[in-house]
Structure 1
Amino acid sequence: MYYHEIISADDKQLPVKIIIHQGPDTNIPRHWHRSLELSFTLQGSIDDFFIGDRHYKTKAGDLLMINSDQIHSVTFPRKNRIEEKNQALTILFPYAFCLKYIPKFNYRTFAVQPTKEMKEAREIKRLQQLLTELFQIKINRTSLSELKEISIIFEVLYWLCLRASTTSSKKIHLNSQPSSFEKLDEILSYIQDNLKTNITLASVSDHFGFSYNYFSRFFKNNMGIDFSSYVNRSRTQEAFRSINENKFQTVKSISQKAGFSNQQSFIREFKNNYDITPGEYIKKLRRLS
């Protein structure tokens, strides 16, 4: 059983999620998410990075890409978790962000060549420099850190699209995944396209020809979250992005555009996800502008 992870952007104006790894290493069980993920090892190594159907061992300078919906995990031997001082950086590009900024995202596959095959290439060195700089910015904060982070994120994304991706004439389905994932991906795409409508468990199960009870079990078993909670969280993420794009909206209009029928439900969901109410977050952004 693999668990599904819902990726949200950082609780700032940053449109992606950045994770700094240093100190004691922790195993990450097999899971999947719809986001595009980039892993960069700065120091030490990752003993077993499983992606799809392959196992990788990284060293300092290595980069790995995890495509949308691809099953992956990280495993460290017990002794290495204590003895070796590792440093790594993970960037998660949320699915909606990828759809907005990456042309033909659902028809694109990403892969970074092993550095031993490209160690003399200026292009890979530039990407390593950008990610090292991003790592340092996350540790040593200044008043301009967020601005620089955004600049680096889009340069990294441009590099990946230009030099580390290929496109297909057909929508990408990764063969290493169970067949049920293809149907689930279709369902999630349908939900994403209809978030602003009165989408319900009954309407989606009917659209895909499932019984209500079967679809309810199928969704929760594969996503680790019930249908209503997933829809509300996805709508909240859309609202978060909408606020960052335009901080002069009202809470009511944001709630309605995100697909919430009840403003209080929206405020409660937003607070649960971001530890701040939408009204407070809007005021915060206005003060910073």
Structure 2
Amino acid sequence: MAEDQYLHEIVTPTEPLSAWIYLHHEKGVTYIAPHWHQGIELSFTIAGSIDDFVINEHHYRTQSGTILVVNSQVVHSVRSVLKVADEAISIIYPYDYVNRLYPEIQNEVIDLNQPAKFNRFQKEIYIEVQTTLFKIYKSLQSQNKFSNLKLETLADQTLQLLLEYFTKPKTEYDIIYGTKEFEVAGIQAITKYISEHYANKIKLVDIATQVNLSKEYLAKFFKNHMELTIGSYINNVRAQKAYYDLLGGKYNLTEIAVKNGFSSIRAMN
């Protein structure tokens, strides 16, 4: 997966489709640092499981058939040990695309992550969404000249079902997934600053100035909400960036370390 599609606010659709669609079938330890984007993200576990998918401080362990939705501007992360047979689909709908088709999304959230609370009708629709997503999976596996037409249609059908049957007004909540809105905004501002400046030396005071908090409160606030220190988070972002540079094979280790904000190869290791 292209890391800039995850760590930045702007999501680039999979050409020529309207949404970004990706089939995960990697193996090994996967860690996607906490991040957010404007788009609406959907994760569908085909086989196996995702050990820890964190959405605004709520931890989910998925299994085959699990669907998770990350609403616009919600901080989320993934940590999992993926086995050979594990597979999952990610779809990110650009916010402008959703808003153009369904302007009501500005005042609503998609509430899909707790199926135990569904009414009988929603449970039936959930199965329909699972079926549609599985069709997307099959289309990704067997590409032909009609694949883009199928993927576009199925992705839109999935979005329509989510918006028609699983949305709730934002006004019903003082809290979005357990976190107050101003706290979510604070986390978003911090992670955005780090994602834009990870290659440089970042001081705690620089971040504190950007979000109008004291250094002391900033450190405590971040640790409470993200379950790791700001220093660890910065290193995780840098390590994730360095990982993709290593895969690319364009730079030597010293260049990768410097390019991604590490003081040395030893620090990167």
TM exceeding 0.5: yes
Task: For 1:63-212, list aligned pairs within 5 A.
Answer: 63-76=67-80, 80-81=81-82, 83=83, 85-115=85-115, 121-169=123-171, 174=176, 176=179, 179=182, 182=185
- For 2:222, the equivalent position in structure 1 comes to none
Q: Is the 8 A contact 1:3 1:222 kept in 2?
A: no
Counterpart CA distance in 2 for 1:102 and 1:34 is 15
Structure 1 residues 101 and 70 mapped into 2: Cα distance closer, same or farther (>3 Å)?
Answer: same
Aligned letter for 2:73? D
- For 1:37, the equivalent position in structure 2 comes to 41
Counterpart CA distance in 2 for 1:23 and 1:184 is 29
Counterpart CA distance in 1 for 2:116 and 2:192 is 42
Aligned letter for 2:145? S
Aligned letter for 2:153? S
- Percent identity between the two aligned chains: 25
Higher relative contact order (CA 8 A, sep 6+): 2
Structure 1 residues 32 and 103 mapped into 2: Cα distance closer, same or farther (>3 Å)?
Answer: same
Q: Is the 8 A contact 1:173 1:182 kept in 2?
A: no
Unaligned runs of 5+ in 2: 1-5, 198-269
Task: For 1:230-245, list aligned pairs within 5 A.
Answer: none
Q: Is the 8 A contact 2:40 2:70 kept in 1?
A: yes
Structure 1 residues 176 and 60 mapped into 2: Cα distance closer, same or farther (>3 Å)?
Answer: same
Q: Is the 8 A contact 1:18 1:90 kept in 2?
A: yes
Q: Please, what TM-score do these two structures have when normalized by structure 2?
A: 0.61
2:88 alignment partner, SS class? strand
Root mean square deviation of aligned Cα: 3.3
**Deviation of 1:6 (Å):** 2.4
Aligned letter for 1:4? H
Counterpart CA distance in 1 for 2:191 and 2:84 is 40
Counterpart CA distance in 2 for 1:119 and 1:125 is 13
Counterpart CA distance in 2 for 1:163 and 1:32 is 24
2:103 alignment partner, SS class? coil
1:227-281 deviation per Cα after TM superposition (whole angstroms, max 9, x unaligned)? xxxxxxxxxxxxxxxxxxxxxxxxxxxxxxxxxxxxxxxxxxxxxxxxxxxxxxx
Structure 1 residues 114 and 179 mapped into 2: Cα distance closer, same or farther (>3 Å)?
Answer: closer
- For 2:254, the equivalent position in structure 1 comes to none
**Deviation of 1:222 (Å):** 5.3
Q: Please, what TM-score do these two structures have when normalized by structure 1?
A: 0.57
Structure 1 residues 222 and 98 mapped into 2: Cα distance closer, same or farther (>3 Å)?
Answer: farther
Structure 1 residues 164 and 5 mapped into 2: Cα distance closer, same or farther (>3 Å)?
Answer: same
Aligned letter for 2:150? K
Match of 2:196 among 210, 224, 230: 224
Structure 1 residues 173 and 8 mapped into 2: Cα distance closer, same or farther (>3 Å)?
Answer: farther
Structure 1 residues 6 and 113 mapped into 2: Cα distance closer, same or farther (>3 Å)?
Answer: closer
Counterpart CA distance in 2 for 1:223 and 1:178 is 21
Structure 1 residues 17 and 183 mapped into 2: Cα distance closer, same or farther (>3 Å)?
Answer: same
Counterpart CA distance in 1 for 2:43 and 2:137 is 12
